[in-house]
Amino acid sequence: MNTKAYFMIKKEAITGGDDHPETIRELEAMPEVESVEPVSGEYDLVVVADVDAPTRIALVAKEIQAKDWVKDLHVLKLEPAAPNPFLDEVSSIPGGESVHWCVQCGMCSASCPNVHKMDYSPRKIIALVRAGRRYDALTSNTMWVCASCYLCTVRCPKDVKITELMHTLECLSVRHGLRKGGTTPALYRAFVDSIKGNGRVHELGMMMKFFLKTNPLAALKIISVGLQLLSHGRMSIKPTRIKGAEQIKTIVERAHALGGTK
């Protein structure tokens, strides 16, 4: 990653003649100097330097300042191009920092079994995050279509934790109230409510709540499956409530008060 800096140079007072071309040539000969412009005002020269490590700026500045025609030198270090609060937000969540390592090779997209149903492929959603496009990323269906199969994660050449990034995007989408009105968020909500209420997931109750909230008619498609599971003793009618259900409530309330992982 290249670091750029501006050097504002004030030259020693020159007696007669204009030696700008010489000093400019001298500076341009330095490998880190990208451009030199003579100016008039507080300073005489504006130099743009491009170094491969931030620590080199001070060294280059020192080198220039040592020249006998330099009276004064001020360094202006370039701040990051534009603030990217969305990228910062994603990076601050445990598991999200790996988004910086992506080289956009596309291995994740190629591995994903559900990519054809996603608004943006895994590779693209990473690009969106890094471009700071919060709205597009968080309103997409991409992460909700992810099945958490981890094929992308295992194959990524840069160890980006893509599946975890999907979970992070889902959490952010929920937190910012941007979750798409799809069925998967509704199911997850019913699942979580079941835990918050009883400490366990009561499958029948959760599914009923889900279908009632989204589309009761959709339940007809799998009613045959439900009946078979019921007749084979694989669906408990009554939910189980653990003794520690109150503990769960306390823990969740406290987590809520602490406001997330940041």
Partner 1 sequence: MGTKAYFMINMGKKFSDDSYYLDAIRDLEAMPEVEAVNQVSGVCDLLVKVDEPVRVTPIANKIRAKKWVKNFHILNVESTQPTETQKPDEP
Partner 2 sequence: MKYYTYFPGCSSSEGTAVAYGISTLSICSALGIELIELEDWNCCGSTPYGSTDELESVCIAARDLALAEKTGLDLVTPCSACYTTLNTANSRLRQYPDLKSKVDDCLAAAGLEYKGGVRVRHLFEVIYNDIGLEDIESKVVNPLSGLRMAPYYGCQLVRPDPGFDNPSNPQSLDRLIVSLGAELVPFPLKDRCCGGSLIIPALDLALDLIHKLLDSATSGGAQCIITVCPLCQTNLDAYQGLVNRKFKTKYNLPVLFFTQLIGLALGIEPKVLALDKNIVSAEKILAPFTKVTESAS
Contact residues: partner 1, CB under 8 A: 6, 8, 20-21, 24, 37-43, 46, 74-80, 82-83, 85
Q: Is 223 in the site for partner 2 (CB under 8 A)?
A: no
User: Which of partner 2, partner 1, none interacts with 35 (beta carbon under 5 to 8 A by kind)?
Assistant: none
User: Which of partner 2, partner 1, none interacts with 143 (beta carbon under 5 to 8 A by kind)?
Assistant: partner 2
Q: Is 2 in the site for partner 2 (CB under 8 A)?
A: no
Structural contact between residues 156 and 107, judged by C-beta atoms closer than 8 angstroms: yes
Q: Is 160 in the site for partner 2 (CB under 8 A)?
A: no
Burial 6-32 (b: 16+ CB within 10 A, else e): ebbbebeeeeeeeeeeebbeebeeeeb
Place of tokens 């008060």: 257
Q: Is 69 in the site for partner 2 (CB under 8 A)?
A: no
Query: Which residue's CB is nearer to partner 2, number 13 or number 257?
Result: 257
Q: Shortest distance, CB of residue 262 to partner 1, whole angstroms? A: 16
d(CA 142, CA 156): 18
Q: Is 158 in the site for partner 2 (CB under 8 A)?
A: no
DSSP assignment, residue 63? Answer: H
d(CA 166, CA 183): 17
User: Which of partner 1, partner 2, none interacts with 171 (beta carbon under 5 to 8 A by kind)?
Assistant: partner 2
Q: Is 216 in the site for partner 2 (CB under 8 A)?
A: no
Identify any residues that bridge with 25 across adjacent strands, giving them in sequence order: none
Structural contact between residues 213 and 190, judged by C-beta atoms closer than 8 angstroms: yes
Report angle CA 160, 163, 164 to the nearest 5 degrees: 80
Q: Using CB under 8 A, pick the residue from 154, 158, 212, 213 that binds partner 2.
A: 154
